[in-house]
Chain A
Amino acid sequence: MNDQGVATILETSQPATAAKGPVKLAVHNLSISYGGTPALVGVDLEIHENEIFGIIGPANSGKTSFLKALNRMDMFNPAMQVAGDILFNGTNIRQWRNVYALRRRIGVVFPLPVGLPMTVYDNVALAPRLSGVNRKADLDDIVERCLRRAALWDEVKDRLDSLGSLLSGGQQQRLTIARALSQDPELLMLDEFSIAVDPVTTMRIEDVLKELRTEMTIILVTNLTQQARRLADRTAFFLTGSCVEIGDTEALFTGNVQDTRTADYIAGRFG
């Protein structure tokens, strides 16, 4: 797998910034359609370990659908068809023993915060409990660690017993992140996480993500191109169902693009 990763770097001839790790996720010729209508066509990309991979693109470009395919959320939507190969750690995700084992390794944060209607503590302890952790001390540990990592601990440590769904929007979004971290995912996918969050909290979460990249791989779908610039090592530009371009983020943002549409979008000259 290491060899394959190195080979890819040589192939794509992109400016090598940081030393890239092995390939965490490889997508080959991925197409997604809803009841026959294509939403995403022919995507090929590779994401490396401990990299923050940005995805930008206007509405309706298929970004969310892409994330859904990665952790097999298509399973409960019969209308959603996924074709092509997705290799996670080198294994096709369709060959995973069970889909739950896959999802445990992939944390997801949705655009709108979802504080489950249970206490703050239970929100974070949910996944560990599902996996069979029952000792109070262990759970306490996990809850505190994840809330700290999501930059929420100081605000909620005195109200762990209040309902998670009653926190403010920005707090709920960090709660969602804490929950996603509670099972130490290898891959964290964030879908426009700052849509309902104020700028200050957004910056705090961005700091959190910068720290997390040492431990996990992160896919960041964002509508804020500057956010991708601040965080992502490489960025993909999606447009109406296809992946127009993938490149080193700094290169894209300094005008070093292969497709003028990418530059137009980044510069805000679109449509």
Chain B
Amino acid sequence: MADTTRTVAEPIPTAAPAAFDRRDADWYLDKAVQVLVFIGGISAIIFIIGIFVFVTREGFGFLLEGFSFGEFFGSPRWKPTSEYNTTYGILALVAGTASVTGLAMIVAIPFSLGAAIYIAEFATGKTREILKVLVELLAAIPSVVWGFIGLTIMNPLIIELFDVPVGLNVLNAGVILGLMAAPIMTSIAEDALKAVPDRYREAAEAMGATRWQVIYRVVLPAAKNGLLGAVLLGVGRGFGETMAVLMASGHAVNLPDSIFDSVRALTATIAAELGETAVGSEHYQALFTIGIFLFIITFLINLTADLIVRGIRKG
């Protein structure tokens, strides 16, 4: 009892301060690194906002004057240089981009998912390492090379196989774009599969699940979010891809009703026409309006992909 009263009266003894503790110095370093990282993060945001502001400003005049919502999104006529009747309708361009991207996903999803499952679940040791390097290499092929393959290999091949007059069409661009998107999708999907803890596989195996049952009953459902993210990033890639699509699609403004129709993509339109327009002209501004539209679409796709990968949306 007497002891207790004494301790209350006196200041509570604390540990004597150590003469030197590295952590005191490192604390400043910690703060400094925090600031640096913050600046890095902020500048990325500033760049994005800057780009968006620039693109919007360039297209702003058109949005205020020549722009008609109904015509822009509802008309398949993209006639910016017509003498009498200039129309800025992007419906056909949207259809072009969408059809090419859609076909690309039909090609890329089975390819990339299959490859990812093989690499993550079946391949071992050297095979696995080699395959991973190959996939990375494939992902690094420049898009103009893919476009070149579309022009010189796919084009004659399609003409011969399907007996059609032109081989630069939705089929060509879709397949090329699909092959292009597949490696990056494979790589992300493989990460998603690898992120599934081995104890899940062991638990299922211990219950007598076959190899394949383990994959489709346990691993794929567990990796669902990552896999969806991979697909969406592929879609984003498809929407944003320019050069390969420009070269392989035929670049004709057209509402396609078969995969053998030539189409034109939103991105390809900007790339092909921007250089020929007078800066500040209506045409120039209309192209930037397409840019705004693309920016918003890809932003939304990537955002959704990101949210899904993080698992914020639970299925």
Q: A residues within 8 Å of B by Cβ?
A: 71, 73, 76, 78, 100-104, 107-108, 110, 112, 114, 116-118, 126-127, 129-130, 176, 179-180, 183
Which are the 8 A-B pairs with shortest beta-carbon distances? A103-B208, A104-B208, A108-B206, A114-B203, A100-B208, A117-B222, A127-B207, A114-B199
Q: Is B43 an interface residue (CB 8 A)?
A: no
When the two chains form the complex, which single residue of A78, A101, A130, A179 contacts B213, counting CB atoms closer than 8 Å?
Answer: A130
Q: Count B interface residues, CB 8 Å.
A: 17
A180 CA to B205 CA, complexed, in Å: 12
A248 to chain B, nearest CB (A): 30
* Distance between A185 CB and nearest chain B CB, rounded to angstroms: 9
B residues in contact with A118, CB < 8 Å: 218, 221
Interchain CB contact under 8 A, A73 and B202: yes
Using known A-B contacts A126-B217, A130-B213, A130-B217, determine if residue A116 contacts B203 with beta carbons closer than 8 Å: yes
Would you call B218 and A116 a contact (CB within 8 A)? yes
Contact assessment for A101 and B208 in the assembled complex, using a CB-CB cutoff below 8 Å: yes
> Which residue in chain B gives the minimum CB-CB distance to A131?
B208
Q: Is the CB of B205 within 8 A of A76?
A: yes
**Interchain Cβ contacts under 8 Å between A and B, 21 examples:** A73-B202, A73-B205, A100-B208, A100-B209, A101-B208, A107-B207, A108-B207, A110-B202, A114-B200, A114-B203, A116-B200, A116-B222, A117-B200, A117-B222, A118-B218, A129-B217, A130-B209, A130-B213, A176-B203, A179-B203, A183-B207
Q: What is the CA–CA distance of A61 and B10 in the complex, to the nearest angstrom?
A: 54
Complex Cα distance, B204 from A183, in Å, reads 13
Name 20 extra pairs, CB < 8 A, besides A114-B202, A130-B213: A71-B206, A73-B202, A100-B208, A101-B208, A107-B206, A107-B207, A110-B202, A110-B206, A114-B203, A116-B204, A116-B222, A117-B221, A126-B209, A126-B217, A126-B218, A127-B207, A127-B208, A130-B209, A179-B203, A180-B207
Residues of A within 8 A of B199 (CB): 110, 112, 114
> Bound complex: CA of A108 vs CA of B206, how far in Å?
6
Question: B4 — which chain A residues lie within 8 A by C-beta?
Answer: none
Least Cβ–Cβ distance between A229 and chain B, in angstroms:
27
| Cβ-defined contact, A130 with B208, below 8 A | yes
Residues in A whose Cβ lies below 8 Å from that of B217: 126, 129-130
| B82 sits at the interface (CB 8 A) | no
Closest to A179 in B: B207
The CA of A117 and the CA of B206, in the complex, are separated in Å by: 16
Q: Which residues of B contact A127 (CB under 8 A)?
A: 207-209
Q: Is the CB of A126 within 8 A of B207?
A: yes
* CB neighbours of B205 from chain A (8 A): 73, 76, 103
Interface check B7, CB cutoff 8 A: no
Contacts of A114 in B (CB 8 A): 199-200, 202-203
Contact residues in A for B200 (Cβ distance below 8 Å): 114, 116-117
CB of B217 to closest CB in A, whole Å:
6
A59 to B130, CA, bound (A): 38
Nearest CB to that of A129 among chain B residues? B217
A180 to B208, CA, bound (A): 10
**Interface presence of B210 (CB below 8 A):** yes
CB contacts (< 8 Å) of A104 on chain B: these are: 207-208
Most chain B Cβ neighbours within 10 Å, of A107, A110, A126, A129: A126
Taken residue by residue from 120 to 163, chain B's Cβ proximity to chain A (1 for < 8 Å, 0 otherwise) reads as 00001000000000000000000000000000000000000000
In the assembled complex, the Cα of A97 lies from the Cα of B297 at a distance in Å of: 55
B210:A100 contact, CB within 8 angstroms: yes
Report the bound CA distance from A180 to B207 in whole Å: 7
Q: How far is the CA of A84 from the CA of B206 in the complex (A)?
A: 21
Q: Contact between A110 and B203 (Cβ–Cβ < 8 Å)?
A: yes
Could you tell me the distance in whole angstroms from the C-beta of B1 to the nearest C-beta in chain A? 36
Complex-state Cα separation, A101 to B217, whole angstroms: 18
Collect the chain A residues with CB atoms within 8 Å of residue B206's CB.
71, 73, 103, 107-108, 110
Q: Which residue of A lies closest to B125 (CB)?
A: A78
CB distance from A182 to the nearest CB of B (A): 8
Specify which chain A residues have a CB less than 8 angstroms from the CB of B213 in the assembled complex.
130
Residues of A within 8 A of B207 (CB): 103-104, 107-108, 126-127, 130, 179-180, 183
Q: B203's closest neighbor in chain A, by CB?
A: A114
